[in-house]
Homo-oligomer: A and B are copies of this chain.
């Protein structure tokens, strides 16, 4: 009898890990590809249950929860089609932004009454950042005139921060997150940071940075797009001021589903929105010409909420029933650890560099690998049924959603990656010789 190969050993290990995973049962809450969706793309063998797409792009667009389609159909056909205007009350449309906000609250460590859902992440960053500057100035009367922004941020945060700075008479100062504490001072009004970096997958020190911002008398806004639903955030526990996040990544709300805004309870009275739409009025149907902000999280609302997308998100959040975020985090770290272990086994040394920190406390739920020809490599991977994404100029991103990604998925992705890296390198060499 021959020795097991590396592939065999890791494949068996993946099966063991899947067998011991208490979250495996959650996979059935999602629509994932069965063998009939293979389109002949899977040429692997030797491991039972391998097949279909390995979807590692849930950090861009989460997979479809099984409950969503029927729920949306009911919203369209019955709530809109039959009840029509009555649904604003009878189907709970009007209060959906707060109600669904409370469901998200549990996942990011916030008590109820502090989150509203609506608008895009970009629009919410604008609300939060302008309001943060106003709070910071109101608090101590200082002429605080600087917004500090994560220099490595997802671009929209930077663009919106620039606009917020321009419209509040601030200057914008991009700073690497690790150097933020040293950059804070009496001029700092607000600081916009990402909990997890969209490209590298690095997890920033939310408690420590929040404390540093507070020590400088400034107000912090956290962007949770790449952390909410993947790891514990602890907004209340760490005294975060304001936070925003999207709902279409680890929260699986669907393409472009509405974002959310967190305003800490004791700051809500001072939340002075640059977008004071009628939905945030204390008496929206009073049709009063003078604006008077509603109390509470409702103050973060603007215009008429987008009901179809919002109620799709509501249905999508059902997948979290009975799921604790700590268990999700534990599995996430185990998955990304195991994936890296497999990548090291299957990829030629030096062919890829891991951009994501190896230390668990510095890692979100994605692995970013840098390599030459990354765009081509990702095309080949997708052609082979392993779906991650490419981020300009040279990064392969693989997102691990613990609710529906298993260890065998991680194994298969790494093994296919190893093969693709060889192929693409071979092609490049071939082209160079031609």
Contacts and interface: CB of A to CB of B under 8 A. Distances in A.
Interface of A: 31, 33, 37, 55, 57, 60-61, 63-64, 68-69, 72-73, 76-77, 79-82, 84-85, 87-88, 93, 119-123, 126, 130, 151, 153-156, 158-160, 162-163, 167-168, 174, 199, 246, 248, 254-259, 273-279, 281, 285-289, 291, 302-310, 312, 387, 389, 391-392
Contacts of A61: 80, 84-85, 88
Given A73-B69, A160-B275, A304-B248, A57 B80 contact: no
Contacts of A57: 84-85
A256 B301 CA distance: 13
B286 A254 contact: no
A189 to B, nearest CB: 15
A256 B307 contact: yes
Given A87-B255, A155-B287, A275 B163 contact: yes
A122 B291 CA distance: 14
Contacts of A281: 155, 159
Given A122-B279, A156-B277, A256-B306, 14 more contacts: A57-B84, A61-B85, A72-B72, A76-B254, A85-B389, A93-B255, A155-B278, A155-B281, A159-B278, A160-B276, A160-B277, A162-B276, A255-B307, A286-B392
Contacts of A156: 277-279, 303
19 contacts: A33-B82, A57-B85, A72-B73, A80-B254, A84-B387, A119-B123, A119-B303, A122-B279, A123-B275, A123-B277, A123-B303, A155-B287, A163-B275, A167-B168, A199-B287, A255-B304, A255-B307, A256-B306, A309-B309
Contacts of A55: 84
Identify which of A63, A72, A281 gathers the most chain B CB atoms within 10 Å of its CB.
A72
Nearest to A82: B37
B303 A312 contact: no
Contacts of A162: 276, 291
A333 B88 CA distance: 29
Contacts of A120: 119, 277, 302-304, 306
Nearest to A57: B85
A159 B246 contact: no
A154 B93 CA distance: 21
A159 B254 contact: no
B64 A68 contact: no
Contacts of A287: 154-155, 199, 391-392
Contacts of A82: 31, 33, 37
A84 B258 CA distance: 17
A42 to B, nearest CB: 16
Given A119-B123, A167-B167, A258 B306 contact: yes
A79 B256 CA distance: 13
A246 B286 CA distance: 20
A174 B288 CA distance: 13
A288 B279 CA distance: 34
A394 to B, nearest CB: 12
Given A76-B68, A278-B156, A121 B392 contact: no
B391 A72 contact: no
Contact of A76 (B63, B69, B80, B256): B69
B174 A289 contact: yes
A308 B257 contact: yes
